[in-house]
Amino acid sequence: MSNPEVVTLCVGGVRFVTRACTLQQFPESRLARMLHDDDQEFKLVNGEFFVDRDGTLFSHIMDFLRTLQVSLPTDFSDYQRLKREAEFYGLYPLAELLSQEHLLKPRLEILEVRISLQDMQAFFRIFGSCSATVETLAEQITLFTGQQSGQSWNSPFPSQKPLFPLPLERPSHHDMVFQCGTDYSAGNQFVARYVSIKPDNRKLINGTNVLGLLLDTLLKDGFRLISTRTVSSKEKVECYSFERLRRPPGLTVTGSQSPGSSGAAQAKRSQAQKGK
């Protein structure tokens, strides 16, 4: 048949509509050849190509053809079945990417928040197994300082005196430290330190409030609180541990290759891996 611009496929009862050029990304594949070859696996019924294969897995096949990238859900586990489907359709570059299963599986990410409450100050230390996550969180947190008159850390609002931003302390790529609260300076003056966490616009001075907002931010970002413990009751140090499954960067092919051709399995990271 002459190749139409739009093609409809029914795969195991699941209907897909795509452009012919998408199916022709890999000219030697069966999907590309079915448009002009008489393949017994593909039945043309009422203008639609029917194939008796797994329709759910075919959605990942279509995603690969549209993006030339393998990017699977964090709960995906059928790597071998999807690899078998890719081989059936003659998409050998995809099959070879799927053989690098260890690069495609999500990785467990750990993050720990420690807080020490001392008089009118609170000291925070955040450690993360993934440096990219710590870097992103550091970009969300802003510190401000200013000298205030007669102000304690329980005051709900900062005074109208100007506040100045402070840099976060970054002992390493995997952690950060900061503090909030007030420190007695001289006379009736206090050095006040506030914390703001995007997208919240408030400037918080109370350590308990900062902790609450920080924990809420992590939970909204997909982390799960797995434990809380007292590190030191004497120094009032509490530790909150979180975990989440971190989706890996997608693997992408360098271009359209023929099945079995040299370099067909060559793939590269779509973005630099961080936190290794």
What is the 3 state secondary structure string of 211-238?
A: HHHHHHHHHHCCCEEEEEEEEECCCCEE
- Domain range for 127 is 108-150+160-246
As a whole number of Å, the CA-based R_g of the chain is: 28
Same domain for 92 and 136? no
Whether residue 129 is contained in a domain is answered as yes
Same domain for 112 and 242? yes
How many domains does the chain fold into? 2
Please report, in tens digits, the pLDDT of each residue of the chain (276 residues total): 455 799 999 999 999 999 999 999 999 999 999 988 878 899 988 889 999 999 999 999 999 999 999 988 878 889 999 999 999 999 999 999 998 887 788 889 999 999 999 888 999 999 999 999 999 999 999 999 987 665 454 554 445 568 899 999 999 999 999 999 988 665 566 788 999 999 998 999 999 999 999 999 999 999 999 999 998 877 789 999 999 987 776 677 764 444 444 333 343 333 333 334
Contact 246, 130 (CB under 8 A): yes
Same domain for 100 and 112? no
Final residue of a domain: which of 73, 88, 105? Answer: 105
Same domain for 118 and 98? no
Phi and psi of 33, rounded to 5°?
Answer: -75, -20
Whether residue 275 is contained in a domain is answered as no
Same domain for 55 and 129? no
Same domain for 96 and 215? no
Whether residue 269 is contained in a domain is answered as no
- Specify the CATH number for the domain of residue 190: 3.30.1410.10
- Bridge partners of 108, per DSSP, are 245
